[in-house]
Amino acid sequence: MELSERIKKVKPSATLVITAKANELRKKGIDVIGFGAGEPDFDTPDYVKEGAIRALKEGKTKYTPSAGIPELREGVAEKLKNVNKIQYLPSEVVITPGAKMGLYEIFAVLLNPEDEVIVPAPYWVSYTEQIKLCDGKYKTPLTSEENGFVFTADLLRESITEKTKAVVINTPSNPTGAVIPKKELERIAEVCLENNIMIISDECYEEFSYDEPHVSIASLSKEVRDITFTVGAFSKSYSMTGWRLGWVASPEKFAKAIASMQSQTVSNPTSFAQYGALEALKDGGKFPKMMRQEFMKRRDYIVEELNSIEGIKCVKPQGAFYVFPNITEYVKGNIKNDVDFASYLLEEAKVAVVPGSAFGAEGYIRMSYATSMDNIKEGLKRIKEALAKLRG
């Protein structure tokens, strides 16, 4: 029996090639330094674990309401009000099994076949594949390195067609770390309002904005809030990637549709994990602040070191925990593209990085600095040596 046309269109992740090669080397006992991780290198805080353990012991192990336990929906609505300055009723917040599932649900409840979504490139790998899974189409306007990879209202305006239904805003961004300034968010919101376009605001990295406070686009006005899906997660903020907990906050009509979709698919986010997340909300942002301070030091170090390498140009990212250096000067001879460059680093330097083409931007690599300073230092030393060899 043939697979569906839908699944045949979905690309397996290009990052898997490098990951598989890195794992092969590790199995042979070779010490590979990994810059591929998309998750903080900190343990989940103990008080969060305790919350989940307590829930397990108290027998909170059964189905919960599809949209999540009421306390957590209230807690997230409260956080969105106090920290993000957006008014949402608890009934407008749906707890999802990770932000990833939340995003998929948004595309599913929003898109009809042929509807278009604007996804600024470089983009996080799952947006385009999820849109395809929902029979939608996408446009991927490329942001410019000169502008720090910041998405702009002008770029948005140029990409709109009569089929455009939504735009994805991801600030701070994975993979570039770009942060969209408030002024630009205001212009983007204006274009969306003028053109009747919904905003899907992926704020998974909201806690990791280094140079200015994070701004949620839905906080700009009631009108903007009413056309926005605000997506967040416990995953990165509380180092809870394996817990699978995020949220989508949106006007009631959409929140109900997403909850209904959850009721027919996943049933609910894991019961005891939700009780752990309740404890995370009580910490008042202390844990993410600790990580932010550490990541900022690493960012400053890695950017400076990369820029000291001949032929590498690295924009200083303002958020998340990734750098996205330009490696085009090394694309010559046997190195035909960024995938070859990443393979060379793996084979020669035993350092794993992700090629930029996986994110819709050739000529770059993504490196995560969610790894120890010792690893960063050793990895950069190896990269420097391997590139010196390449230059001859």
Ligand X SMILES: Cc1ncc(COP(=O)(O)O)c(C=O)c1O
Contact residues for ligand X, defined by CB under 6 A: 38, 98-100, 124, 170, 174, 202, 204, 233, 235, 241, 246
Strand partners, 352: 34
Nearer to ligand X, 98 or 141 (CB): 98
Q: How far is the CB of 174 from ligand X (least distance, A)?
A: 4
Q: At what angle do helices 99-110 and 252-264 cross, to 10 degrees?
A: 110
Nearer to ligand X, 70 or 242 (CB): 242
Which residue in the block uniquely carries the two structure tokens 């993979």?
175
Q: What residue type is 187 in one-letter code?
A: R
Nearer to ligand X, 276 or 380 (CB): 276
Nearer to ligand X, 156 or 245 (CB): 245
3-state secondary structure (DSSP) of residue 72:
helix
Nearer to ligand X, 174 or 371 (CB): 174
Which uninterrupted H or E stretch holds 351?
A: strand 351-352
Nearer to ligand X, 230 or 387 (CB): 230
- Residue 297, CB half-sphere, CA atoms under 13 Å: how many? 11
CA max distance for the chain: 65
Nearer to ligand X, 100 or 214 (CB): 100
Judge contact between 239 and 39, C-beta under 8 A.
Answer: yes
String of DSSP letters for 151-195 = --HHHHHHH--TTEEEEEEESS-TTT-----HHHHHHHHHHHHHH
Q: How far is the CB of 38 from ligand X (least distance, A)?
A: 4
Q: How far is the CB of 322 from ligand X (least distance, A)?
A: 9
Nearer to ligand X, 77 or 277 (CB): 277
Which residue in the block uniquely carries the two structure tokens 């092969």?
24
Q: How far is the CB of 194 from ligand X (least distance, A)?
A: 26
Rounded to whole angstroms, the Cα distance separating 258 from 263 reads 9
Residue number of the CB atom closest to ligand X: 98
Rounded to whole angstroms, the Cα distance separating 211 from 4 reads 46
Q: How far is the CB of 5 from ligand X (least distance, A)?
A: 26
Judge contact between 86 and 137, C-beta under 8 A.
Answer: no
Q: How far is the CB of 46 from ligand X (least distance, A)?
A: 21
Q: How far is the CB of 1 from ligand X (least distance, A)?
A: 31
Q: How far is the CB of 100 from ligand X (least distance, A)?
A: 3
Distances (CA, A) of 119 to 101, 124, 199, 377: 17, 9, 11, 34
Strand partners, 228: 199
